A and B are shown apart, each in its own frame.
Chain A
Amino acid sequence: MSRNVIDLKVYDSRDFPAYLPKLSKLYDDLFSGGKGFRAKLIRMMASNLSLDGKVEHLLAQTIEFIHNASLLHDDLVDRSQLRRGKTAAWTKYTPEYAVLAGDYLLARVMVNLSSHGNIRLVQYTAQVIGDLLEGEWLQDSVVGDFFVTLEQLDRIHNLKTASLFKWCIRAPFIAQERYNEDLHQTLEEMGTLLGQLFQRSDDLLDYDVRNDEGKAILGDLKSGYLNSFGAYLCKGKSRQEIDQIVKSYDLESFYENLGGKNEFDQKLLEFDEMNKNLIRMYDHHLERLKTHLKPGEEKLIDHLRPLTEILYWRRKP
């Protein structure tokens, strides 16, 4: 299969046993939504690195399977009723089926990758799945903790969110058996920064900042989870003030408890400024990446550069 005819439809019900009740229906629901951003990232990496079409498909499928498995588990852990505007799998099909369906996807990832034969890719993928689980575990352990700090949340997000971004940009190089240590460290740093920026931007949606997707307002806070922007806003506040802030029932009362809309806007400016430094750091690592690319691969830099705009500022590509 040549790479220019590759179809990035990563899920096909025929790849899974038809005799298992509800499995196909559950996966149909699961894979029918979502932007497939990670698969697109793989496609972009693959096209710039001239990756074989089959490998590109394998990688795109792998990342989407892992991501969707994590969503199945995540919704159950968080007791979220909705996923992509539809009833979450654990409520529609029972929690047991949701867990098993997630596990099945992860098992399929391992089968597919080991068939490909690159043991380093299998090893790295297993490590990323481990990181995801650790992140999920840790995140659950801080639910209801409204005094958690941004630094502590960053550590969780590095495991939970950034690990998949790191995989997307490292796996194509590993698949090509390019194992240079400095190259992978550079990619690791970039993935960490992308994950952090994406998570912070996603957390801003909760406060209706750049919320073009129409995400539920104060959803995290009402679920007992103080996200990264919430932690930033609460930094330096007394326990009594934080207690008051987290009891806010809507955005207006949130502004009021925080000290006014102006205070909120000022903090948002500072938060953005802090994240601009992360973007500068990402650009710095992009320059490092240049030195590891082969002739003809330079366009990868041009494609990776706008990712921070898309992920943090939520600008359309």
Chain B
Amino acid sequence: MGDLITLSKGSKDFDSYLLGTFAPDKRALPLQTLNVNSSAETVTFKIVPVSEIGRPSFLQIGAQVLKIRSLLLVLVPLFLMVTKNIADSTLMDPLSTMLATFGVLLAFLAVNVRNDYLDHMLGVDRVLEESGSRAIQKGWVTAARLKSISSVLLILSLLCALPLVLTYNSLAGVIAMGLVIGLWAQFKRKNSFKYRIGGELALFVMLGPLLTVGYQLAMGAPFDGESVWIGCVWGWLTLFVVHLRNFRNIFTSSQAGFNNTVNWLGFDKTRRLLAMWWLVFLAINLGYHLYFAGFYWGFYLSIVLSAPTLMFISKLKNISSPIGSELYEVYKMGTYLFLLTIGMWVFECVWYLFL
């Protein structure tokens, strides 16, 4: 075990240890935190020379820092929108579509990295030990470096957005709204915005209708109701995953004083919330197919999902502890439902495109 140092939030060195700027050849790895999310927070760091830190390959670090797996959250709605516009023959501008895709991915990566940085500075990653990429905790990268990477990615995404806004002026409103929400999240210093009820709504809007409508406009296609529907269905599904994750962390995040819907409702009511949330998703997904796509696909999808849905609800009903392994089983089952839905959608889109 290396040297230990304990610093409180009032200490002048606190930020430099969290940021990793206190010494060029050493890393401060947080070991223990008290009173996180308050002005009385103290963190005990283990000081380790950079040379003693085991690192995987650059690619592995990059994939972990950028949380490549979470790209699914934006790739799916983009794929759905492209499919819809190809099927409707409304994809007018392939170049701007590519630029918009690139810009959205860069913006999402920027938010991902920024999120890790903010979680570290606010102590969220010390409360929820499985949150984020854990790259800072392992000493692979400093928080200060993550902040810089995030800024570069954000600038690149804005550079992608610029020609799009000049070409399609109506896109400016959508991007401006996204920036306003992003800035609000950035300046919510007391608590990570994900762990607020308002933050959940912001996530729904940004990953849902704002993303799909903006992308629709960037493709040179006209604004339509279907884009909003797709956005709402996706946003709803995304929030299902968010609630599921918050449920998994209900004990630790409640103790840390995070305010989100799950903590507000409590253990028992959240079980009902998750079941209802998923059933509503099935209903709006069916509704979407009824109005805009092949009803038969909506029907088949509901049939396929019905068996795992029953299993999921049964697991939710039987869970008795906010801290044991059953909670993880519920989380796994919910994630399986989420991934199964995506798989079915992709299959449906391929069918629209090629059959």
Interface size class of A (residues with CB under 8 A): 20 to 34
Interface residue tally for chain B (C-beta within 8 Å): 22
In the complex the two chains form, is B324's CB within 8 Å of A148's CB? yes
Docked Cα-Cα span, A187 to B251, in Å, equals: 24
> Once A and B bind, how many residue pairs between them come within 8 Å at the CB atom?
61
**Per-residue interface assignment for chain B, residues 22 to 43, with 1 indicating a CB less than 8 Å from any chain A CB and 0 otherwise:** 0000000001101100001010
Cβ contact within 8 Å between A281 and B322: no
Smallest beta-carbon distance B31→chain A, Å: 7
> Known: A155-B251, A277-B1, A284-B44. Contact between A185 and B322, CB under 8 A?
no
Q: Which residues of B contact A288 (CB under 8 A)?
A: 6
Partner of A185, one of B1, B34, B251: B34
CB pair A141 B324 closer than 8 Å = yes
Chain A residues lying within 8 Å of B131, measured Cβ to Cβ, are none
Q: Are B44 and A281 in contact (CB under 8 A)?
A: yes
Q: Which of B35, B44, B321 interacts with A142 by CB under 8 Å?
A: B321
Residues on B with beta carbons closer than 8 Å to the beta carbon of A188: 34
Q: Name B251's closest neighbour in chain A (CB-CB).
A: A155
Q: CB-defined interface of B312-352 with A at 8 Å, one 1/0 digit per residue?
A: 00000000111111101000000000000000000000000
Pair B34/A280 contact, Cβ less than 8 Å: no
**Does A181 interact with chain B (Cβ within 8 Å)?**
yes
Q: In the complex, what distance in Å separates the CA atom of A284 from the CA atom of B129?
A: 23
CB contact under 8 A between A285 and B6, given known A138-B322, A142-B323, A188-B34 = yes
How many Å from the CB of B74 to the closest CB on chain A? 31
Q: Which residues of A lie under 8 Å from residue B325 when comparing CB positions?
A: 145, 147-149, 152
Instruction: List, in ascending order, chain B residues with CB within 8 A of A148's CB.
Output: 323-325
Q: Does A256 contact B (CB under 8 A)?
A: no
Q: Is the CB of B44 within 8 A of A141?
A: no
Q: Does A109 contact B (CB under 8 A)?
A: no
A52 in the interface (beta carbon within 8 A): no
CA distance A284 to B43 in the complex (A): 13
Q: How far is the CA of A132 from the CA of B84 in the complex (A)?
A: 57
Distance of A151 Cα from B322 Cα, bound (Å): 13
A110 to chain B, nearest CB (A): 24
* CB of A189 within 8 Å of the partner chain: yes
Cβ of B180 under 8 Å from chain A: no
B residues less than 8 Å from A189 (CB atoms): 6, 32, 34, 42, 44
B250 to chain A, nearest CB (A): 12
Contacts of B259 in A (CB 8 A): none
Determine if A168 is an interface residue (Cβ-Cβ < 8 Å).
no
Q: Mark B1-15, 1 if CB is under 8 A from A, else 0.
A: 100101010000000
- State whether the Cβ of B21 lies closer than 8 Å to any Cβ in chain A: no
Task: Answer yes or no: B261 CB below 8 A from chain A CBs.
Answer: no
- Cα A39 to Cα B230 with chains together (Å): 65
User: Is A182 interfacial (CB-CB < 8 Å)?
Assistant: yes
Decide: B42 and A141 in contact? CB cutoff 8 A: no
Q: A141 near B129 (CB under 8 angstroms)?
A: no
The answer to the question of B252 belonging to the interface, with a C-beta cut-off of 8 Å to chain A, is yes
Shortest CB distance A83–B (Å): 25
Interfacial residues of chain A within 281-296, with CB under 8 A of chain B in the complex: 281, 284-285, 288
Given known A-B contacts A151-B129, A188-B34, A189-B34, A281 and B323 have beta carbons under 8 A apart: no
9 extra A-B contacts, CB within 8 A, seeds A142-B321, A182-B42? A138-B321, A145-B324, A148-B325, A152-B325, A185-B8, A185-B34, A185-B42, A189-B44, A285-B44
B residues within 8 Å of A by Cβ?
A: 1, 4, 6, 8, 31-32, 34-35, 40, 42, 44, 129, 251-252, 320-326, 328
Chain A residues engaging chain B, CB cutoff 8 angstroms: 138, 141-142, 145, 147-149, 151-152, 155-156, 181-182, 185-186, 188-189, 192, 277, 280-281, 284-285, 288
